[in-house]
Amino acid sequence: MITHRALATSVPNFAYLVKEDRIHGSLYTDEEIFRLELENIWYKGWVYVGHTSEVPIPNDFIMKSIGPQEVIMTRDRDGQIHLLQNRCPHRGNQVCTEAKGNRGIFTCPYHRWSFANTGKLRGYPYPDGYETADRSELGLGRVTRMAEYKGFVFGSFAADGPSLEEHLGRGGRDAIDRLVMTSPEGEVEITAGFLQHKAKANWKFLVENETDGYHPQFVHDSIFSVAQSGIGDLYGSESTALARDLGDGHTENDLRPEFRRIGKLLNWFGTTEDRVPDYVAKMVEAYGDEKARQIMIDGTPHVMIFPNLFIAEIQIFVIQPLSVNETVQHVTALQFKGAPDLNSRLRQQTMGSVGPAGFLLADDSEMYERTQRGVAAKNPEWNYLGRGIHRERRDEEGYLVADNTDEVTTRGIWRHYRELMEA
Amino acid sequence: MTIHVDLALLAEVEQFLYREARLQDTHAYDDWEALWTDDAIYWIPANGADIDPEQKMSIIYDNRSRIGLRIKQFHTGQRHTQMPRSSLGRVVSNVEIIDDDGKEIRVASNAMIYESNLRGETVWATRNEFLLRRNGDGLRMACKKVVLVNNDKPIYTMSFLV
């Protein structure tokens, strides 16, 4: 007999729901699917947590997250980074309610158990009541694995699985490598604080949108037209920029072909050499004339690292799902070590563009929320993602590419998603 | 402690703030833009009330030219998040003259804003600080700082004039 309960817990058929050129609307609305995503993606794979520059000195800490879970990123007194859970092992109380700070010890206010910022239990009041307790098992919970790539810290709740380098792949590592080269000292700093922008939409709409090169001309026409921005043309039908599937869910809009065609230094950032002369001089000194010129022509990457780190040329976004229809986008300006004149412009441009009142992101969010409501409609059941499927091709490095407005990126995200959900 | 209130000045300031609120609620963009001085700053900090806006991210940190850009974007008719426009009703209260040196007046006030849009209904609560300046025929805003009480938490899109 099929009971109501058995029906409710039947496993979704992802081979049916995710097809090569279309995906089923329930993937954005089904609470059981969201629960499985937490298990198979957010609590298993590598998820971006934070940057080492957010906890620059010993005993610094900052509150971060992996999906709906709070994670405290700490730097202990020896400089080592830890990813701890905000749960006292005694009765589950939160041990930290501050967004960031500097402290070596976290004390639970409930029964005053205290913990080192390594997670280790330091002590509890009236210890004679715990004669049989094993103190080594009563520390703060940890994110099972932690790894760092060039300052970018990732966590995974799975004990086994691919290494971070394997997860990032050649494409993800190359994106971060290219990013840090924009600094004359080869380092990114995340120091400007995050805006936290909430949307009533499923997290996958955000991930898809980050490398959807089809929408900017339409969703963002209002600001491109009044700000006389050249960004829209990068996503026009004449653009030589490319949409690229980097594999493992990572995707890219590669704008370099356009910037190389135009051939002007710092055009990627909408500025010119004479406005940031100190930066240009430092870059030439650091990398030599030819390489510095190439870096300053190519600009920074536009890469979505699955499932939650979007490197968006001048800022990073960190995507945090809270529930099946609620997602937070944390966003801040990228800051490049040794480039103060560039950095102040990066902050100014980022503040204008993103966050709850941003010229760009307020309209993106509007689309996330309307699509969330739209896919609740019964017909058609599918979202059609076939754009450019006839002109997909392999580039010289073996990646699948197509025109910048094509959905080769979105298809790549879903191909990887299906693999993870069927695993 | 005796507090001396210049009732005529208080009434003038209150009328100015109510007028600003009405222009915002009714999306009278150009009339609202005309309330600013040429060197104006429109500031909505994030993650606290006293961050350094030159170093840290704010929700809005507009100079006069960027205020103008914001208004121009509305006028394109393609600012999707305001198509349809938010339906707004706000209450301005707790109006207090903090300082008046004869040229510039510092004012504090609170606002509760009820927004209805496609997403649903949202209540916003703010503590506002104004720097008003006399300008011939009346007052102008040289600075408006809006401290959302929940600016340290994730918030929904806030694309109307706050």
Contact A359 B69 (CB under 8 A): yes
pLDDT, greater one: B2 or A82: A82
Best of B73, B74, B113, B124 to substitute, by most chain A Cβ atoms within 10 angstroms, is B73
- pLDDT bracket for residue A3 (50, 70, 90): low
pLDDT at B50 over 60: yes
pLDDT at B3 over 90: no
What are the backbone angles phi and psi of residue A61, rounded to the nearest 5°?
Answer: -145, 160
CA distance A327 to chain B (A): 9
pLDDT digits (tens, 9 = 90+) for A49-99: 999 999 999 999 999 999 999 999 999 999 999 999 999 999 999 999 999
pLDDT digits (tens, 9 = 90+) for A98-153: 999 999 999 999 999 999 999 999 999 999 999 999 999 999 999 999 999 999 99
Contact A250, A171 (CB under 8 A): yes
Q: Residue A378 burial (CB < 10 Å; 0-12/13-18/19+)?
A: exposed
Secondary structure of chain B as H, E, C letters: CCCCCCHHHHHHHHHHHHHHHHHHHCCCHHHHHCCEEEEEEEEEECCCCCCCCCCCCEEEEEEHHHHHHHHHHHHCCCCHHHCCCCEEEEEEEEEEEEEECCCEEEEEEEEEEEEECCCCEEEEEEEEEEEEEEECCEEEEEEEEEEECCCCCCEECCCCCC
What is the architecture of the domain spanning B7-148?
Roll (3.10)
Contact A242, A403 (CB under 8 A): yes
Contact A22, A386 (CB under 8 A): yes
E strand or H helix that includes residue A101: strand A100-102
User: Quick one: DSSP state of residue A39?
Assistant: I
CA A267 to chain centre: 25
Strands A250-254 and A145-149 come out as unpaired
Residue A121 half-sphere exposure toward CB, CA atoms < 13 A: 18
pLDDT digits (tens, 9 = 90+) for A176-223: 999 999 999 999 999 999 999 999 999 999 999 999 999 999 999 999
Tokens describing residue A179: 């990013």
Contact B9, B132 (CB under 8 A): no
Percent of chain A with pLDDT over 90: 96
- Beta carbons within 8 Å of A323's beta carbon, 6+ residues apart: A31, A34, A68
Q: What is the pLDDT of residue A5?
A: 52
Instruction: Give the CA distances from residue B94 to residues B70, B101, B105, B110, B126, in Å, rounded to whole numbers and listed in that order.
Output: 28, 21, 16, 6, 11
CA distance A124 to B104: 57
Q: At what angle do helices A408-422 and A203-210 cross, to 10 degrees?
A: 140
Question: Closest residue of A to B44, CA-based?
Answer: A357
A317 touches chain B (CB under 8 A): no
Contact A222 B157 (CB under 8 A): no
A192 touches chain B (CB under 8 A): yes
* Chain B residues within 8 A of A361 when measuring between CB atoms: 157
- pLDDT bracket for residue A7 (50, 70, 90): low
Q: What counts of helices (H) and strands (E) characterise chain A? A: 14, 23
Q: What is the pLDDT of residue A9?
A: 59
Chain B residues at the A interface, defined by Cβ less than 8 Å, are: 44, 46-47, 51, 54-62, 66, 69-70, 72-73, 76-81, 118-120, 152-159, 162
- Beta carbons within 8 Å of A289's beta carbon, 6+ residues apart: none
Question: Closest residue of B to A319, CA-based?
Answer: B154
**All domains of chain A, ordered by start, with CATH?**
47-149 (2.102.10.10), 170-422 (3.90.380.10)
pLDDT digits (tens, 9 = 90+) for A293-349: 999 999 999 999 999 999 999 999 999 999 999 999 999 999 999 999 999 999 999
User: Could you tell me how many residues make up chain A?
Assistant: 423
Every domain of chain B and the residues it spans: 7-148
- Beta carbons within 8 Å of A403's beta carbon, 6+ residues apart: A213, A237, A239, A242, A243, A388, A391
CA distance A295 to A239: 20
Secondary structure of A104-135 as H, E, C letters: CEEECCCCCCEEECCCCEEECCCHHHHCCCCH
- pLDDT bracket for residue B136 (50, 70, 90): confident
- pLDDT bracket for residue B5 (50, 70, 90): confident
Tokens describing residue B144: 């408006």
Side chain identity at residue B145, one-letter code? K
* Chain B residues within 8 A of A101 when measuring between CB atoms: none
User: Could you tell me how many residues make up chain B?
Assistant: 162
pLDDT at A224 over 90: yes
Contact A59, A103 (CB under 8 A): yes
Q: At what angle do helices A277-287 and A289-298 cross, to 10 degrees?
A: 130
Provide mean pLDDT across the span A391-417: 98
pLDDT digits (tens, 9 = 90+) for B52-105: 999 999 999 999 999 999 999 999 999 999 999 999 999 999 999 999 998 999
Of B55, B80, B154, the CB nearest to A198: B154
